[in-house]
């Protein structure tokens, strides 16, 4: 697990996430033509849990798709 720095809504933050989830988020962002910051900001606006958990659930949901 590693900390990754992000810019959300103009604020610097970091998230601890396993490399496999981070790599998949990067792949999803690239496929959508988005920056990782934009994708995570979208997920952040919809979340009901902490950000790390929301990112993991997003990736799993996307892969089950």
Domain that holds residue 28: 2-64
DSSP string, 13-48: EEEEE-HHHHHHHHHHHHHHT--HHHHHHHHHHH-S
Name the 3-class secondary structure at 11.
strand
What would the pLDDT profile of 28-47 be if each residue is shown by its tens digit? 999 999 999 999 999 999 98
For residue 47, what is the domain's CATH number?
A: 1.10.3990.20
Handedness of CA 52, 37, 41, 6 (dihedral sign): positive
How many structural domains is the chain composed of?
Answer: 1
pLDDT in tens, 49-58: 899 999 999 9
Read off the pLDDT band of 9 (50, 70, 90). Answer: confident
pTM higher than 0.85: yes
Residue with tokens 């919809």: 46
């Amino acid at each position: 697990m590693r900390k990754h720095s992000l810019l959300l809504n103009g604020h610097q933050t970091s998230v601890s996430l396993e490399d496999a989830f981070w790599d998949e988020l990067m792949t999803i962002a690239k496929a959508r033509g988005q920056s990782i910051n934009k994708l995570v900001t979208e997920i952040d606006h919809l979340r009901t849990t902490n950000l790390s958990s929301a990112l993991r659930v997003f990736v799993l949901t996307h892969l089950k798709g």
